[in-house]
Structure 1
Amino acid sequence: MAGLHRIIVGLDFGTTYSALAWASSNLPGQINLIGNWPSAGILTHHSAPSEIAYHQGSTTDFSWGYDIPRTVRRLKWFKLLLESNDDHVQSGMPLPPGMTAMDVTRDFLSALYQHAISTLWRQNGQAVMSMTRVDFVLTVPAVWSDTAKQRTREAAVAAGMSNDHNLSLLSEPEAAAIYTIKNQDANAINVHDRIVVCDAGGGTVDLISYTVLSIEPLKVTECAVGTGDFCGSTYIDRNFEVLLQQRMGHHYHSLRVETQQRIVKNFEEVKCAFRDKPDQNVYHVNVPTVNSIPEAGIYGGEFQLTREEMRRLFDPIVNQIMVLISGQIQSICKEGYHVNSVLLVGGFGESPATAVVKGAVLRGLEPSLPLQVSHVVRRSRRHYGTPMSTLFIPGRHSERDAYTDPITGRRMARNQVSWFLNKGDPITDDRRITRNFCRSFKKYSGPWVDSMVACDLDRPPSRVTRDVKHICNITADLSSVSKSSYEKKWRNWRRYYVARYNLDLTILSGEMKFELIFRGASYGSISVDFDL
């Protein structure tokens, strides 16, 4: 069964909307969007709202997407909680008692997973599906921290996406770029062109710049370090909520939560239609259950906004995006090159939101497309390394880090960092970076734990500082290794052992992998425990 036939499902888990698509290894050129969403009588589209509503008193029974009744309180934007610990973000998205953002994400992803699987069985039939392996490619914002990506992966695993499936993560702008570049009009993009891809979604805006090496097959390399920020279209909604509360005063807090949510939903329609035209000076947002509050600018059940007020809702967010785009262009120009085009993708830019999910499917199909492999060379967005101790060198190391190793008697410097990968370094999916380390011990008392750190500065420090952030621990169990495998040394007539081993680092599009190698073998089930 395995390997005979594959179906790749792409899942774009967005802040405001999510989408599913699939393709078969037999027909790789035909990408099918999954629709037919469960609906409470609402017209559905190619994507479903990333919203969930738990039934009263329950943390297991819920409605989701279009299937949530209008009058029910719903959770939205919870994707941002996987990354942000900001109090304002947390307070704006209250979770059910006893539940975490990962719990809510797990439940929402499980609903998408079950909808995808049931759709595939219905459309392909039992005969095909019984001999087919289904794999999932889940997209994540490139601007996210490694911790947030790991949280997303764990939620997807808990949702069932690794049950007899391969699950891989892919950055959203890379997925969008793969699809968009491959589907440009003839001669719109040429070999050697430099392109800035701006993926502007609901919660995050990600930018990656590429040099096109080949069109068929598509091969690109990053020509600037990717950037991004939390400045998607939902932040315009939040600006509106602040304005609404300011204008309504105590009247706002007398509204039911469902009514407050409905007003923001109504504003989204006005937001999407806003064109900043000089001939339209007033915009109207429907306010259910309220007739008139003149001091708040509400007349006949409509909240009135001037054109200037609408611009003030948009401007801070749009300006933030423009700064990000300018930064990417300047980075390329500093290298003596020019930018040929800027591709704007994502719902905020009114580009088809399906670019990300279709790009995820194309990336997942690569093993089945030997003649059309989308080969991407990325650049690291931060420095990665591991803390270590090294021989103390006067003048190079600080006395505060000095200590004497009780086993070897050598003077050492603790809190130093061995950097595996530097910010801006090119990385490919098949690249493995190796660093050599050694441990001295009298008796193995394992397991061994090595920690991994990251730094966002342009130049990383040589020792651990406040700018060096802990990412995760690598745990390796070498209890099965014979003592004869280690080097034997003596000090003061007492024997001790030295183990020389490697730490390997592989960074994929949306995930990273650490591995401990001793004498050519990978040891234990090395767990990557992110510092959540």
Structure 2
Amino acid sequence: MLQLDPYKGSSRKLVIAIDIGTTYSGAAYCVLDPGEIPQVLSVTRFPGQEGENKSRDVKIPSVLYYDQQGRPRAVGAEATLQDTEDEAYTQEWDRVRWFKLHLRPPSILPGATLPPIGVNKSIVEILADYLAYVFRCVKDFISETNPTGRQILDTDTPIDFVLSHPNGWSGPQQSNMRRAAILAKLVPDDDEGTARLQFVTEGEASLQFCIATGLGNDVMQKDRYVTIVDCGGGTIDLSTYRVLDSQPIAVEESVIPKCLIQGSTMVDHRAEELLKSKLRLSRFSTPGDLQVMMSYFETTTKPTFKNISSTSYVRFGGQSDTDERVNIRRGVLSLSGLEMASLFRPSIDAIKSAIDSQLSGINAHLTTILLVGGFATSPFLRTELQEHLNKKGLRMFTPEGQTSKAVVEGALWFYLDNRVRARVVRHTYGSECATRYDPSLPGHFIRKHRTYTGVDGDSRLPCCFAILTQKGTSVTEETGFGISCITRRLFGNLNTTVSVDVIAYRGNKTNPEWTDEEPEMFHTLCTIKAAPALSSWEKHSGPNGPYWSKRIDVILLLGLTEMKAHLSWLENGVRRISPASIIYGEEQ
């Protein structure tokens, strides 16, 4: 177990972590009192769970019901109660689920068939409604169970938040999550709100949980590696770390993390398609029967499936409900072991391939795989992965304990005692710029037709790619990467705001030089804006009259869990640094 030092802050603070999952979500909190050792506590009770034994399950379904006016009428566990479902049917409410996956980058599972969003609201608005509900539940739980927390809630003490997200989410998705948090009134829409909200990947949060709870003590030895395979409802997140030191534990990310949308919901999706096909000529193919079958499949059939030699059962009806043609007897549908295995196979094969990829660039025999997450409780999944790794002579453990809460509690441990010292750059980043034309260079000469004359009279070529940093580079939180660019504007048209697009290259070249080669591999990630003082611009004379110029250094900090940026320039001989706005557009 990781032992925290007493909180060194000067005033009391409350920190809340929220993990919005594809199928289930959870929350945890920590009260920080000066001089006291912090405790990470899960929220273990939500509305709609009264009377149930929730000692092993501290999550609620990621489900909402909206009425015809677009107002949320039931959320979480309350949305799964029988009386809620009856009212939803009568009042024609719309059920929304799997909304988290609609936030994914287009590059992840393109063209995926997801449950449609039947309400006239954006995904950000839906996420905001859900976050607002979870926040209310957390406050109610703290007020009922923690006197200190109640005192904090009764005052205007600011609350810090940590939101987790899949490994494959980056700046654009974080921006949408921040907008949702602001709409949900978790934080204000200003610099203070930005400072009170942090993000962490699910893979890193799971690592922090394993370190903090002692689940990885035997493998956290210097120069060894640990691969976290977090199997959730929607995504499978893989992260690999090298242990820098074991006393105290410090690690560095050693491989680019992986994110697969092959979680347990994909098994459910394939099961629904199988049932529709299997029952298409049966009287039990009605939407109502299918809904009951899928509910039983998700809660009982899927999590208990062990091997292909056994038959699985889906209970949905009564003694008189029989159709021998499709293996339905007395209200129970039978599925063969091969049929069940076919539902898991694409997910399992994808996980195996991703594990192999994570291990390909390191010493695999110094690596231990830790399997966590709700989907990791599947005996069939564990057996298949264990057999795959046994053949390679590798070790895999599924740590005991409530690893289904690894992400949400790990997010708090990340806030309290981050043990990751360096991270790996996901893509090659740079910016498109114009360069002075040089006909002696082959790359320039073949683009002669694209030259233009700048305001300074020089011939220039567009579409040159200036690299900030390359994919796979290991960076610390303090590491900054910069490029210099010169902005030129005709006299009289001076707008002091400088904008620089940060572009991510996703191809296979080590040093891409031109954006007109493999144009589909260059994606504008964000725009960085700042406004140097008017007095810092320099006036020049050009063939078309006077013009202004300004040399700007764009500095990116990529070693954090959220990208930061600032601009730097000389002003009257003094180096100035300005925090820059990062504006994310829709990822292409």
TM-score (norm 2): 0.81
Structure 1, unmatched stretches of 5+, are 367-372
Shift of the 376–272 alpha-carbon distance from structure 1 to 2, 3 Å rule, reads farther
Q: 1:30 to 1:524 in 2, by over 3 A?
A: closer
Distance 1:222 1:202 in 2: 24
Shift of 1:286: 1.6
Out of 127, 151, 156, the position equivalent to 2:176 is 151
Change (3 A) 1:146 1:297: farther
Query: What do the CA deviations read for 1:436-481 (whole angstroms, capped 9, x no partner)?
Result: 1111112313543322211222325212121111222233345xx2
* 2:308–2:336 CA contact under 8 A, matched in 1: no
Which residue identity lines up with residue 111 of structure 1 in the other structure?
Y
Q: CA separation of 1:147/1:527 partners in 2, compared to 1, >3 Å: closer, same or farther?
A: closer
Q: What SS does structure 2 have at the residue aligned with 1:137?
A: strand
Whether 1:10 and 2:17 are equivalent positions in the alignment is yes
Q: How does 1:334-349 map to 2 (within 5 A)?
A: 338-349=365-376
Alignment of 1:13-32 (within 5 A): 13-26=20-33, 27-32=36-41
2:115 to 68, 72, 93: 93
CA distance in 2, matches of 1:31, 1:252: 52
Matching residue's letter, 2:99 = F
Match of 2:428 among 383, 386, 401: 383
Between the two structures, name the one with larger relative contact order (CA 8 Å, sep ≥ 6). 1
* C-alpha distance in structure 2 between counterparts of 1:46 and 1:453, whole Å: 40
2:48 counterpart (35, 39, 48): 39
Match of 1:202 among 225, 228, 233: 233
Does the CA-based 8 Å contact 1:476-1:527 persist in structure 2?
no
The one-character-per-residue Cα deviations of 1:343-385 (angstroms, maximum 9, x if unpaired) are 111111126111111111011124xxxxxx5233110121122
Say whether 1:83 aligns with 2:104: yes
Aligned 1:44-443 pairs, distance under 5 A: 44=54, 45-54=57-66, 56-68=67-79, 69-70=81-82, 71=85, 72=88, 74-83=95-104, 89-90=112-113, 92-122=114-144, 123=146, 124=148, 126-129=150-153, 130=155, 132-163=157-188, 166-182=196-212, 183-184=214-215, 186-249=217-280, 251=282, 255-256=286-287, 259-268=289-298, 269-276=300-307, 278=309, 281-288=310-317, 291-333=321-363, 338-350=365-377, 352-366=403-417, 373-394=418-439, 395-397=442-444, 398-399=446-447, 402-442=450-490, 443=493
Structure 2 CA distance, aligned partners of 1:151 and 1:493? 44
Give the length in aligned residue pairs.
Answer: 514
Deviation of 1:50 after TM superposition, in Å, equals 1.1
Deviation at 1:510, TM superposition (A): 3.9
For 1:260 and 1:101, locate their aligned partners in 2 and report how far apart those are by CA, in whole Å.
27
Identity %: 23
Question: Contact 1:382–1:423 (CA<8 Å) still a contact in 2?
Answer: yes
* 8 Å CA contact retained: 2:479, 2:559: no
Shift of 1:417: 1.5
Q: CA deviation at 1:499?
A: 0.2
- 8 Å CA contact 1:439–1:500 kept in 2: the answer is yes
Report if the CA contact (8 A) 2:253-2:420 is conserved: no
Q: In the alignment, which of 553, 557, 560 is matched to residue 506 of structure 1?
A: 557
Deviation, structure 1 residue 61: 2.7
Say if 1:185 and 1:236 are closer, same or farther in 2 by CA, change over 3 A. Answer: closer
Alpha-carbon distance in 1 for matches of 2:559, 2:51: 39
Aligned equivalents of 2:292, 2:560: Cα separation in 1 = 37
Does the CA-based 8 Å contact 1:12-1:139 persist in structure 2? yes
Residues 188 and 496 of structure 1, relative CA distance in 2, 3 Å threshold: closer
Letter of the 1:127 counterpart:
Q
Amino acid of the residue matched to residue 583 of structure 2? V
Q: Which residue of 1 aligns with 2:3?
A: none
**Corresponding letter in the other structure for 1:487:** E
* CA distance in structure 2 between the aligned counterparts of 1:411 and 1:235, rounded to whole angstroms: 54
How big is the shift at 1:509? 4.7
How far residue 523 of structure 1 moved from its aligned partner, in angstroms, is 5.2
1:161-190 CA distances to partner (integer Å, 9 max, x unpaired)?
Answer: 223750111000001011213323654431
1:490 pairs with 2:551: no
**Gap change, CA 1:408 and 1:32, over 3 Å in 2:** same
Matched position secondary structure for 1:332 = coil
The farther-off stretch of 337-346 and 522-531 is: 522-531
Measured in 2, the distance between the counterparts of 1:134 and 1:232 equals 32
Amino acid at match of 2:64: I
User: Cα distance 1:293–1:101, how it changes in 2: closer, same or farther (>3 A)?
Assistant: farther
Q: Aligned letter for 2:151?
A: A
Query: In the aligned structure 1, how far is the partner of 2:427 from the partner of 2:411?
Result: 24
Q: CA RMSD in A?
A: 2.6
Contact 2:565 2:580 in 1 (8 A): no
Q: Secondary structure at the match of 1:195?
A: strand
Structure-1-length-normalised TM-score = 0.89
Question: 2-side partners of 1:84 and 1:264: how far apart?
Answer: 28
Separation in structure 1 between the aligned mates of residue 459 and residue 125 of structure 2, nearest angstrom: 48
